[in-house]
Chain A
Amino acid sequence: MPNTPPTDRERFVTLMLPHLDAAYGLARWLTRNDELAEDAVQEACLRAFRFFGSFRGDAPRPWLLRIVRNACYELAERERSTRQSDTFNESKHDAEAAAPGAVLVLPVNPEAALIARAERDQVRACLDALPADYREVIVLRELQGCTYKEIAMIAGLPIGTVMSRLARARRLLQARISETMRQEDTGT
């Protein structure tokens, strides 16, 4: 036994399973449901294994995360009737409707201090409430530490879109957190 060449499964386990934590972390944020996240990761790993023959690259993590991401959206789509989530589409559309060149230079930011003292739960709730395509880029960048290039690969976006979407997503999230803090300050 010890001298036989590794099977596909052994190679898969060696290459891909070290990224299971990353896969699960991403899935939790995309599905916003721990159980669904596990199902999505399980499904994605099997799918990845089936397509393992087509994996040529030297970057197993983005390759796997891309499959995880797609599995999450498919599962979430199936669950949609129970978890209707796009409550904040309106604010998203507002943000997107703003003049594209001007979006980043917004009112000076006295919000830094406000954001710095937000409670963890409040930050998490605001991130949870972001529209999925905004939440996705933030989670990939901030929580998974992906580079723009990796995000582009995982989310299937041009790199320029990654950059502008991340900027918008952060701006929206900043606004949501500040709003939460202000409401708290005024006791509403």
Chain B
Amino acid sequence: MNCADAGRLLNAYADGELNLESALPIEAHLETCARCRASLEGLTALRGALSAACDYRPAPERLRARVLGGLAREAAPRAPAPAWPARLLVALPGLLALLITGWLVVTEPWKQTAPQAAARSHVVYHMASSEHAGAALRTLKNLLDAAPQMKVVVVAHNNGIDFLRRGAKDETGHAFAATLREFRARGVEFRVCTNTLTRRRIDTADIVPEAVLVPSGIAEISRLQSQLGYVYLRI
């Protein structure tokens, strides 16, 4: 494979869109070609920058309420209309109760602060070691199965980055690659500490394309927790 062929497929490769058969020749080419490795690094850097710059922002509660209200109005004409005013009178107390319940459910007035609301659906996984990465990913899978809408960011530093290196295998000798792709498809983000890479002299091209780089893993975890209300988990 030459640079032109590799270049044409590099984005798809970085996005994990290639099957093994197409990915292998690119990996072989990347081994030998510094120029294409640099392009891949550029892509990884861009993805890292985007992922760090553009935080997930949940829809405001008022939008949810607006949509539910709109749907109710939209659906209303299809409901059987009350035949005469007396029937309306009979229905009134029930309707009132329904409205109040609806208001309570939609606005949840007892939940006052926004960070708490955000915290319910955002989790940051801290990986400081890869020794039990297999087990950690299994718990992550359970978490996502139980709460598919949960936004999960995995931040890896120190030895925790090892399971995100190319060709990494779990305790039983299975490659992590397929699992990582599956997690990416479910919206999980993997962020790798650049300080760790520098300190351990690991080439960025050695990190799987499913992960993106952030300047500091610890700073990233603090930021997610303090500014964006993420819940912290360490396995």
Contacts and interface: CB of A to CB of B under 8 A. Distances in A.
Interface of A: 7-9, 12-13, 17-18, 20-21, 23-25, 28-29, 38, 41-42, 45-46, 49-50, 101-102, 104-106, 108-113, 115-118, 120-121, 123-124, 127, 138, 141-143, 145, 147-148, 163, 166-167, 170, 173-174, 177
B158 to A, nearest CB: 19
A74 to B, nearest CB: 17
A65 B52 CA distance: 23
A173 B50 CA distance: 10
B149 interface: yes
Contact of A115 (B17, B45, B68, B189): B45
Contact of B45 (A21, A49, A106, A116): A116
A166 B38 contact: no
A102 B189 CA distance: 31
Contacts of B15: 141, 148, 166
B185 interface: yes
Interface of B: 3-4, 7-8, 10-12, 15, 17, 34-35, 38-39, 41-54, 56-60, 62-64, 66-68, 70-72, 74-75, 78, 148-149, 151, 184-187, 189, 194, 204, 213, 215
Given A9-B72, A42-B66, A49-B74, A105 B7 contact: yes
B110 to A, nearest CB: 21
A49 to B, nearest CB: 6
A111 B38 CA distance: 9
Contacts of B189: 145
In the A-B complex, the 3 residue pairs with the closest CB atoms = A24-B59, A109-B42, A123-B53
Contacts of A17: 64, 67-68
5 contacts: A25-B59, A38-B62, A41-B67, A141-B15, A148-B15
Contact of B11 (A20, A111, A163): A163
Nearest to B55: A120
A174 B42 CA distance: 8
Nearest to B188: A145
Contacts of B215: 116-117
Given A41-B67, A141-B15, A108 B59 contact: no
Nearest to A27: B59
Contacts of A166: 11, 15
A104 B215 CA distance: 27
B10 A50 contact: no
- Residue among A112, A113, A143, A166 with the most chain B CB within 10 A? A112
B19 to A, nearest CB: 13
Contacts of B17: 147-148, 163
A124 B54 contact: yes
Nearest to B56: A25
Contact of A25 (B42, B45, B50, B57): B57
Contacts of A38: 60, 62-63, 66
Contacts of B62: 38
A84 to B, nearest CB: 24
Given A13-B68, A112-B204, A170-B11, A120 B52 contact: yes
Contacts of A104: 4, 7-8, 10-11, 39
Given A110-B38, A115-B49, A116-B48, 19 more contacts: A17-B67, A18-B149, A21-B56, A23-B59, A25-B56, A38-B60, A45-B71, A101-B4, A104-B4, A104-B11, A104-B39, A108-B35, A112-B41, A116-B49, A120-B52, A127-B54, A166-B15, A167-B11, A170-B11
Given A17-B67, A163-B12, A167-B11, A142 B47 contact: yes
B51 A115 contact: no
A112 to B, nearest CB: 4
